[in-house]
Amino acid sequence: MSPLYPDIEPYDHGLLDTGDGNLIYWEACGNPAGRPALVLHGGPGSGCSTVARRYFDPDAYRIILFDQRNCGRSLPSAADPEADLSLNTTWHLVADIEQLRTYHRVDSWLLFGNSWGSTLALAYAETHPERVAAIVIAGVTTTRRSEIDWLYRGMAPLFPEEWHRFLQAIPSGMLGQDEDMVAAYHRLLNDPDPATRLKAARDWHDWEAASILLVDPEGLPRRWADPAYLLTRARIITHYFVNGAWLEDGALLKNAARLSGIPGVLLQGRFDIEAPLVSAWELARAWPQSELKIIAQAAHSTSNPDMTAAIVAATDRFRDSRQK
């Protein structure tokens, strides 16, 4: 039996006007009078999913999801080469979360994020700790330079064939001596030629697929079949990573004391190649009110049954907790 709660549909949804030309898609599910919970999707640029609604007891939680700037149903879409991403930074997203909180008249809420969503959850919580009742994060990342370098250089010896293809897809002379793959693909994904952009998006995702297929041969998300989705996601990811997510390197760990008093659960797959366990372990040491749970047979995907069960158990724990 699946540990997920049954499928539900939003009872409300809309577009939040940020005032700077962006419209943020949001939806609310579950119990309108329930405990507020905010879902922060990964990527960056992946968009929210219907599965994320099912991590929460719909009778107990008021579940709010949103597509971060320029992805999913938010406008304008990063798939459009004319979409200006200069107003899409970590701190713009933190401000969007605050605007959503005010719009929905939430005093404080539980944050759930996976992968990039865990970075965003930490950035928001360290900026607005008084607005955070609890945190559940999976596939923990802090988007340090070392984590970005691991994804687009460090993993190369584990996947030599796929790395060779990833490297060879870059036109001759574009890659500098430093072999900064993120910067090279960022340029390709913003090239004026549509065919160049689409090929770069596909090549980017082929590299990401290497680590996913290692642990789950059927694990590629269905959304990856959509060229517009690939363009959106790859363009936003490279935009964030080439800029170090606008975070001082290591800042989220250095500032973990700001999380004092906020209870948290960190869920990490033992075999998570994309986000190795060390980041979650270091965060748990810096944040005494957090509990690190290592999922023995899981990797980075939240669709792993043991990981899914652990997420639901964590949200159930805070549903039943009196901690605020």
Known active-site residue 115: yes
Contact 54, 5 (CB under 8 A): yes
**3-class DSSP assignment, residue 321:** coil
Alpha-carbon distance 262 to 214, whole Å?
36
Known active-site residue 249: no
Sign of CA dihedral 135, 138, 143, 145: positive
Scan for tokens 């043991």, then name that residue. 306
Known active-site residue 239: no
**Which of 265, 321, 222, 247 shows the shortest CA–CA distance to 112?**
265
Q: Supply 106's token pair.
A: 């939430």
Q: Supply 181's token pair.
A: 């793959």
Catalytic residue among 67, 279, 300, 301: 300
Work out the angle between the directed axes of helices 227-242 and 181-189 (0-180°, nearest 10): 130
Strand order in the sheet with 109-114: 12-17, 23-30, 61-66, 35-40, 109-114, 132-138, 264-269, 290-295
Catalytic residue among 115, 118, 211, 290: 115
Q: Supply 246's token pair.
A: 């606008």
Scan for tokens 């549509």, then name that residue. 194
H helix and E strand count, the chain: 10, 8
Catalytic residue among 186, 211, 272, 301: 272
Residue 7 CB neighbours (<10 A) = 10
Alpha-carbon distance 171 to 184, whole Å?
9
The catalytic site residues sit at: 115, 272, 300
